[in-house]
Structure formats: C-alpha cells, structure tokens
Structure 1
Amino acid sequence: MERATLADGSTVEYFPEPIGEGAMKQVYLTADKSSVICFYKDPSAGSNPNRIARLEAILNGFNPTLGHQGDYYKKLFCWPTAIVKQPHLGIITPVYPSNYFFATGNWQGKEKEGKWFVGKTASGKLLRDLLPEAERGTWINYFKICIHLARAVRRLHHAGLAHSDLSNKNVLIDPTSGECIVIDIDSLVVPDLFPPDVLGTRGYIAPEVLSTLHLPLDDPNRQNPRAETDQHALAVLIYQYLLGRHPLEGPKTYPAASAEEQERMEMGSKALFVEHPTDSSNRPRDLKIPYTALGPDLSKLFKRAFIDGLHSPQKRPAAIEWERSLIKTWDLLLTCRNGYCPSHWFVLHNRNQVRCPFCGSQPKGNIPILRLRKEIHSGAWTLDGEVVVYHNLSLFKWHAFDHVFPGPNADRTPQAYCVLHQGQWLLINQNLTSLTSPKGNLVPPQSAVRLEDGVQFRLSQEPHGRLVEVQML
C-alpha cells in the first residue's frame, strides 16, 4: 500500500497499481475504495502555481457541492474533494456511483460514457442498439438526463465557470434511471483567471474554436473554451440523447480536403445543421424524426443553437433556457400505447394530428389538456403553461402555483393526480387545500373534479394559485 500527502498535511493510503489512465492523469484507488487519486502525468504540474491556484479555487470558492444545495449537486458532479501534494500533484475525487458502470453484457464493468448511447459503429449502426436491453433505458429517461445535464451546466455557468470539454466522454449517464454525472472537473475554465487546459472532444468543440486552432495561443482572434462553447456542446448532447444522431454529421463532403481538413470544415468553418431549413446539402436520407417533433419550445432553442447561433456564439441558448424548456416540454409528454413502440413516449405538440413520431400510431380516446393560467391582475388571467394528461399523471406545487419552479429544492409531494375511471377523466385531490370545482365549491382531499371540455376550476385560492381550463382532444 502506498501513501499520499494532501495539501492540508493529512495522508491517504492507496493501492499501488493504477486502475485507469487518461491523457493527463493516472488513476489509483484509495485503500477504503471510496475515492480515487488522479495523479497528473506531467512532472512539472506540481511546480505550476496557476494549476495549483486553479485547483484551490475549484475546491473552495467555486464549489457547488458545498453549502446550500450541496448534497443535490454532489449527485450531478464528481467534484474533487482534496489536492494531493506528494508523491506528486494530484486530486482526490469520489468513486463514481455503481449505476454508472455497465452491469451486464460485453461492456460489463466499463463506465457508462455517453458514447455508448449516442455513438455509432463503423457501419453506421447505433452503439445503443448493441447494448443489452436492460442497459439501454427508455426515451423518457434520456429526457430526464437532459434536464439534469442542463441544470448542471447552468450551475457551472452561474458560478462563472466553464467546463471546456463538455462531451459524451465527460458526462456519464444512466438511462435506466435518468441520471447523469459530469466528470473531469479539475480542468474547469475560470474566466479571466485560469485558461483552459484542453480544447474539447471531437464532435463537441464549438465551430469558432475549431476554426481558429491554427492561430497562436496569444492571438486575439483565437477562440478558446468558455461558457458559449459549453452552450454548443450542451445543445449537441441534448440533440443526440433525444434524437439519436449528431446535428452536424451529414453526407456533405469537401472532395479536395484531406480527412483532417474535412473534419475541421464539417465541425468548424463550414459546419451546417443537418436539418437546416433552406440548405439540405447536409441532410441524411434516413432522417425520419425532425427536431420539430420535440415541440415548439425545444424547436426554438435548437434553431437558435444550430442555425442562428452555430457561427454566432452570442445567439446560442443559455443552459437555464434549456433547463426551463425541457421542464416545460416534459408536461407535454404522452404515453404511446403501442406495445412495440421503441420510445413509449412522445411530445404531443400537434393538436390537429396526434400521432407518435417514433412508431406512427395514433392514441385512441379523448386526451385532456390542462391549460394553466396565472392571474396578472384582479380577474385577468393569462396562459402560463399546459399539461397533457395521461392515466396516473401527478400534479405538483409548480403546477398549482405560478411562482414555484421545479428546481433542486422543490417540494416533490404530489398534490393531485389524474385517472381515467369508467370512461371518465378525473382529477383526484391529494394535498391541495383550496381546490375548487367549476361551480366554485371546495373539493377536499380524496374528492375529484371531472375533466370535461371547456370547464374551468381553481387549483388553489391562495396567492399565485393557478386557474385550469380543460381542453379535450
């Protein structure tokens, strides 16, 4: 057993044989198997004051896993917990939770990097399709992953940090639970203080960074990783998780270009969205499900990310916009009742023709839509959101009140649920204290409101309580 000395003078024992290795670090397991020590390979790392100052800033002043909401963000980040000074510079990070390792199949024991779920084989087949069915997860869980990832990036940017290498390599995901964790935190960019160590991973490097790689480091025109380049990578990951393809990898080629030049143009100066509305030269022939199938809110953000903002970083959506739009779109998800559907869920956004884009089936029977309204002044209500109803759908405080957001500390106690009972849609009160019927009568817990086309009722009479108008499809 070997012994490492930490920056605070304490010591930690670790196994002498490395368990992993990356481009910059070699990884060893601590004796108690709860953490790993990542030693920098560069022998001069320990004498670099900027690197040490960066690590100290990341561990202390910029650390979201400390203080308020710290326990929540420990689940979204594998954040370093200590700096190692001897035998040479390194960091200690927690061991990844067990659900981020494959439990079955040919990949058993390997980390669940995003590439296994969005990457392709040489023949173009999705790697996801080669995984055991138990490891693939469900489409709705990829949707959850996108919400968690957007929230994690939003928290980084809120602290003034940028990841610099946000990619399917540095985000581990678990599609069986809908969870994700961001890793490789020690290379974060602290703007105006610590420059990036890395430029990113192929497929996720922003076009402006790739286009200026040839310029000297001190050239003012050279573009380096920052929050806007994270925004590009985040949009790419969300597009891949929800649609199973890369937004820039299409059939367009540049015949006179070498393989390296082809990639640099495809992802850099000549990058073109595969679903560009007026230039279809990069559109794959087998593109069956357009990004517009994900609903109006996400469609607007994809347009800004890959059309307006692809070569104009300042136009890209911020992480908080993705988080809010994903949460809003979550309320438009509907179960697909086709047992053979590969997705089992879809976004209900086309009210004129309700059809699952993944399998083409049409749901039978009526579908209630709860149109949520908030009071802007006495007696005046404006549309504030919508909820597509399916059997056993739960409603929460953020549905009942217009000032509640489903963030990390939100109360997740169900307030009501909807059921289809003997052909009639009902909203069953669970914990709403002033739910009122369309006639204005108080509806106590365990009592119901019938969901019929055109009826209106209050979810709460308290300040910020919402009004519901039912639309039946």
Structure 2
Amino acid sequence: MSAVVKAALRDGRNVEFVFKPDPPEGGMKRTYFSPDRSYVVQFFKDQSAGRDPNRMLRLENILTKYNPTLPEAQGGARGVTATTAEYFKKLFCWPTGIVVKPEIGIVAPTYPNNYFFASGPWSGQEKNGKWFQGKVRGYLAQMAPQELGTWMNFFSLCILMARAVRRMHQAGLAHSDLSCNNVLVDPTTGQCVVIDIDSLVVPQLFPPDVLGTPGYVAPEVLSTIHLPLNDPKRQHPCSFTDLHALPVLIYEYLFNRHPLKGPKIHSTKSAEEDDALAMGTKALFVEHPSDHSNRPKNLKIPYTVLGPNISELFKKAFVEGLHSPNQRPTAMEWEWGMVKTWDLLFPCTNKSCAHQMFVLYDERHVRCGFCGAKPSTNTIPMLKLRSERRPGQWFADGQLVIYHYKSLFKWHAFAGEFPGEEADRTPQGYFVFHGGKWLLVNQNLASLTSPGGNRVPVGRAVELKDGTQIRLSQEPKGKIAEVQIIQV
C-alpha cells in the first residue's frame, strides 16, 4: 500500500516521496518517486555504508565543489556558469540533496520522459543502453522499430557521452562504472544522460565502491582482481578505466558489436574463466591489425570506415592502450575526433542502407562505407578550413563536407570556437544546390567575402567554385574556406 512520506535533507529541507512496499532497486539503492514524479528519493540498501563519514563527505563534495550542474556562484564546481550548468543538467542525472531521515540516501532528478520507451512491449521501461546492442537490438527493430532512431543519432549521443566523461575528468573525477547500465540513451533524439553519480571516484580521496560492469571493466582491473585490495599492484577503477569503457560503448553503438568479444577461446575449463581471460589478461581487439585470431568471420564493416580521426582513436584504445592504460585516448580526444568526423558525414542515397549516413574522408573513392552505394549527385563540395595563427600564415583547421541544406556554424567560421557546452549554436549560413550550382547562403556572417573580394550581405549567396577561397569573416580569428569540388 502506497503513502506519501516526508524525508529530511542534510541542508534542512524536507521533500516528499511515495512509499511503496516493493520499490524498484539497483545494486546499492532503493528508489521512490516524488508525488509528481519530478525527482526520486533513493535510500542506500546498506545503511552502514550510508553512515560512513567518508561516503557522506564524498556526497557533500559531489553536490558542491565537483558539481557541473550548479553554477560556481551557488556553490558548484569552479568555472561553472549558469549557461554551462543548464547544459550539463541534460548530460548528468546529478544528485541535488542528501537524505538523513528516515534513512540515509540521496535526492536526484527523474530521468526525462524521452529516456523511457514510449511504445512497444517495453513501454515505460528505461532506455538502458543494452536495449540497443547485439541481439536485443534486433528484437527491438522487430517489435518497436520507431525506438531505434538513426545511426546519425547514435553518433550524436556518442559525442555527448564523450563530452560528459571529459567534464568529469576535468574536475578530477572518475565514474568508475561507466557502462550501458549507467548511461541512458535516446537514439530517437541523439541524446544521452549519465546516471549513478553518487559513487564517483576522486583519486586519493574517495575510492571506488564497485568493480564495474562485465564487458566494460578494464583489462588491468580484471587481471589483478585476485590480489588483496591493499596490494599496490592491484588496479582499481579510475579515470583510465573510464577511458576503456568509453570507447567500448562508442564502438558498440556505432558497429553493434563488442570490440573484444570474438571467437577466440582462452580456456575450456569454464565459460566464466574464458570470459575473464578474454576481457582481462588475454584481451584482444577483434580488429587487431596483425593478430586476426579473435576476428569474427562475419565482420564485414571495419572500424576504418569512420575515417582517420576515429580510426586512430580506436587503434590507440584497443591496440596500443588495451593493456597500457596511459596510452588510451582522453575523453577530450574522443570528443574532438568525433566532432571533426561529424563534419565529414554525408547522406547515403541507398534507401535500404541501415546507416543512411557515411563518413566521406577519401575524395578519390566516394562510396558509402556501410553499403557501398555511390552518391547520386555528380559533384560534392568539400571546404578545407584554414585559420591564421600568425599574421599571413594560414594553417589547416578542419574540413567540411557539403550537402543540400547543411548548416555552417561559428565553430566553422572562427578559430578558437568549439561546439561544446558554451557554443553559440545559431546557424551562420547554409548550403544549397540550386540552378546547377552549389551556394553558401549568408544568414549571420557580418563580413562574408567572396573570392573576388566582395562582401556578401546577409540573405545573399556566394557560389562554391573549385579552387577558390572564401573568407568566412574579416573579423579577428575569421577563417578562410578553400573550395574543392569532388567529382563523383
């Protein structure tokens, strides 16, 4: 029988929650919803752990000095503005209060509605990442295809996931249990949210509470799990282990397969021992460039279809850094690499292609890397962006593949701009194919200049001609775009 009960918070506030005898629960907490379901009250199942002074100090720090969802002026993390706080509220389900009565626990926002299935046999259930991986993804495609979203949206949520991890690591935090269970995803909108924030790790201050989730635990953690907890050789969850779990998630979402789960058998004693070796001491990338012993026979689409930026990151993560944690790419490198690759995405004209977009990184061989289809258009513009680092010296600063109605943003037009949490996302222009010509239509660029040196007013267009240069802005840090017309 349910009843509305009050909970007392450490800061003196009281909140209400609906008590039920059989609440949903995870490994560490029981969850109760507020009467309007706008927040949850979660109690620790192990109340002795909840009363641990170290845990209480951890929670206080997570709610204040490490909190990216609270402006610095209100006691949040250093450098956090009202704008960035609102941005990161969408990427984290960050605790907002510590409960002291009737039991020890926390208050946290309820996940937004888009993180619950809206239709199909799983209507109302959380969009845990495992729904969108492997065989389960196939069942979802049959039973509720409208929930699958698009491959481009998976790419988008992977960028956001890398951004969230980057922000945690910038603050000196580690999630310690980054996995499909602790990152909810919505491929219908291209969004994600990181959950279970109350157990974040702070090196030398707050150790990890958990080992991690199978499939995402770093090899060095599994390889030393047999050692005593205080053995200096034992490896514990930390930021380096996050940097293993992050690319595992990215690889899974973009290729629908696990980067380490291949056909190679390491032990015939038991499935458990074989799995422990495959994910630990004997871990081997399924696409290792020289050792093909773990490569599935049906692996048709290699990771290299994502172009050089992401390919290099996967190589560092799963070849060079798989057993050498300090060689793994940082979350910022993943964020940058994926943003650069986003600018190379191009629509696939094959309506049967499951991906509908591909990375156009090789102008000599323009084909969809997933289905092999050739674009229907005869020409594709590519802008090679350059920025002036020293007077008169222009250096390569990104590329932009153009298609009909693609937008141009400030980070394309100005050096030093990045599409992160502080970015101005107002379109500066857009591209169209009109009258047999490719055009850039000016929307908000104050000093867009044509190859002939003429200003292009807002509302007017400049033609993209092969071999010409367009000055995107005459203002400081304004970039030059060199036009290359790819013949398909």
Range class of TM-score, shorter chain: over 0.9
Q: How does 1:17-166 map to 2 (within 5 A)?
A: 17=20, 18-67=22-71, 68=81, 69-120=84-135, 126-166=138-178
Aligned partner of residue 405 in structure 1, secondary structure: coil
CA distance in 2, matches of 1:442, 1:170: 50
Aligned partner of residue 195 in structure 1, secondary structure: coil
CA distance in 2, matches of 1:270, 1:45: 35
CA distance in 2, matches of 1:411, 1:171: 26
- The one-character-per-residue Cα deviations of 1:346-400 (angstroms, maximum 9, x if unpaired) are 1001221111122211003100001101123333222211100000010011111
After TM superposition, which residue ranges in structure 1, 4 or more long, deviate above 6 angstroms?
Answer: none
- The one-character-per-residue Cα deviations of 1:70-114 (angstroms, maximum 9, x if unpaired) are 111110000001111111111111111000000111111100000
One-letter code aligned to 2:235: Q
In the other structure, the counterpart of 2:293 is 281
Aligned partner of residue 367 in structure 1, secondary structure: strand
CA distance in 2, matches of 1:414, 1:189: 39
Q: How does 1:17-416 map to 2 (within 5 A)?
A: 17=20, 18-67=22-71, 68=81, 69-120=84-135, 126-364=138-376, 365-416=378-429
One-letter code aligned to 2:392: G
CA distance in 2, matches of 1:63, 1:260: 38
With normalisation by structure 1, the TM-score equals 0.97
- The one-character-per-residue Cα deviations of 1:28-60 (angstroms, maximum 9, x if unpaired) are 112232111111111312331111111111111
- The one-character-per-residue Cα deviations of 1:152-185 (angstroms, maximum 9, x if unpaired) are 0000000110001000000000000000000000
Match of 2:14 among 11, 23, 32: 11
Structure 2 unpaired stretches of 5+: 72-80
CA distance in 2, matches of 1:232, 1:130: 31
- Give the Å deviation of 1:452: 1.5
Aligned residues between the structures: 470
Aligned partner of residue 280 in structure 2, secondary structure: helix
CA distance in 2, matches of 1:77, 1:410: 18
Instruction: Percent identity, please.
Output: 60
Aligned partner of residue 19 in structure 2, secondary structure: coil
One-letter code aligned to 1:49: P
CA distance in 1, matches of 2:258, 2:408: 34
User: Does residue 442 in structure 1 map to residue 446 in structure 2?
Assistant: no
Identify if the C-alpha distance between structure 1 residues 127 and 269 changes in structure 2 by more than 3 Å, giving closer, same or farther: farther
Identify if the C-alpha distance between structure 1 residues 13 and 70 changes in structure 2 by more than 3 Å, giving closer, same or farther: same
Q: Is the 8 A contact 1:45 1:89 kept in 2?
A: no
CA distance in 2, matches of 1:376, 1:147: 27
- The one-character-per-residue Cα deviations of 1:176-199 (angstroms, maximum 9, x if unpaired) are 000000000011101110110001
- Give the Å deviation of 1:209: 0.4
CA distance in 1, matches of 2:389, 2:169: 31
CA distance in 1, matches of 2:321, 2:266: 23
CA distance in 2, matches of 1:118, 1:461: 47
Aligned partner of residue 484 in structure 2, secondary structure: strand
In the other structure, the counterpart of 1:470 is 483
CA distance in 2, matches of 1:120, 1:199: 26
Answer with 11-20 or 206-215: which moved more. Answer: 11-20
- Give the Å deviation of 1:21: 0.7
Answer with 254-263 or 309-318: which moved more. Answer: 254-263
- The one-character-per-residue Cα deviations of 1:393-452 (angstroms, maximum 9, x if unpaired) are 100111111121111121111111110002211111111111111111111111111111
Q: CA RMSD in A?
A: 1.2
Structure 1 unpaired stretches of 5+: none
Aligned partner of residue 314 in structure 1, secondary structure: helix
One-letter code aligned to 2:401: V
Aligned partner of residue 15 in structure 1, secondary structure: strand
Answer with 197-206 or 454-463: which moved more. Answer: 454-463
CA distance in 2, matches of 1:215, 1:250: 27
Q: Is the 8 A contact 2:310 2:338 kept in 1?
A: yes
